[in-house]
Amino acid sequence: MTVRTSEATSQFPSYAARAGKVISLADRINGCFLRSMNGKALPVDSADMKAMVAYFNWMEKGCHLNDKIPGRGTGKIDNTFKPNLTHGKDIYAAQCASCHGANGEGTKRADSSYIYPPLWGNQSFNIGAGMARLYTAAAFVKNNMPIGAQNRFPLAQGGLSDQDAVDVAGYFTTQWRSDFPAKIHDWPNGGKPKDARY
């Protein structure tokens, strides 16, 4: 899920090309549950959904629709790079597998909750998630992964070149993950990005 800035509330309701209509913040959050978490949507009027929307509202801090908000989304990547999956597999083994598992299965705590999320398989985000797209994933990885690799605030994250980020994203996004049958309704008015997985 890439809506992780405090100012998300000010950006909704707004038109979403993937949905082909104006969506609310609750719709956007449910998109994360359905796609990024490969789970179920919450009723819009449930206490849990209301609590999350209230939390985003509380963090809004005077931002307005169409404001350019630092930190929103995944950051930039040069999408003219083509992935080299063999090299991506090597990067994965050397720099990612220690946390995300040799087979993308993630790492669990003793109580079997995840400390490091799985990157493929049926516990990972499904093909309808933004993270299943090559350049979205590569941009996320370039700016946020691997954690603990260098000197950058706050998590010592980042450090891969654009090409390396595209290679490793090419590798893990093309591993097996769950389908998202409702994907047939996506981008009803066109505008599908070229790296969508379907």
Q: Which residues bind ligand HEC (CB under 6 A)?
A: 36, 91, 95-96, 98-100, 116-117, 119, 125, 131, 137, 140-141, 145-148, 168, 172
Q: How far is the CB of 47 from ligand HEC (least distance, A)?
A: 23
Residue 134 token pair:
């090559």
Residue 72 token pair:
């929103």
Return the number of the residue (11 or 38) whose C-beta is nearest ligand HEC. 38
Q: In whole angstroms, how far apart are CA 33 and each of 66, 79, 127?
A: 25, 27, 13
Residue at 95: amino acid letter: Q
Return the number of the residue (42 or 147) whose C-beta is nearest ligand HEC. 147
Q: How far is the CB of 163 from ligand HEC (least distance, A)?
A: 13
Return the number of the residue (15 or 176) whose C-beta is nearest ligand HEC. 176
**Residue 137 burial class via C-beta count within 10 angstroms: exposed 0-12, middle 13-18, buried 19 and up:** buried
Alpha-carbon span 171 to 86, nearest angstrom: 8
Strands (E) across 52-195 are located at 107-108, 114-116
Return the number of the residue (10 or 136) whose C-beta is nearest ligand HEC. 136
Q: How far is the CB of 43 from ligand HEC (least distance, A)?
A: 24
Helix or strand run (H / E) with residue 80:
none
Q: How far is the CB of 188 from ligand HEC (least distance, A)?
A: 25
Q: How far is the CB of 115 from ligand HEC (least distance, A)?
A: 7
Farthest CA pair distance, the chain = 47
Return the number of the residue (115 or 182) whose C-beta is nearest ligand HEC. 115
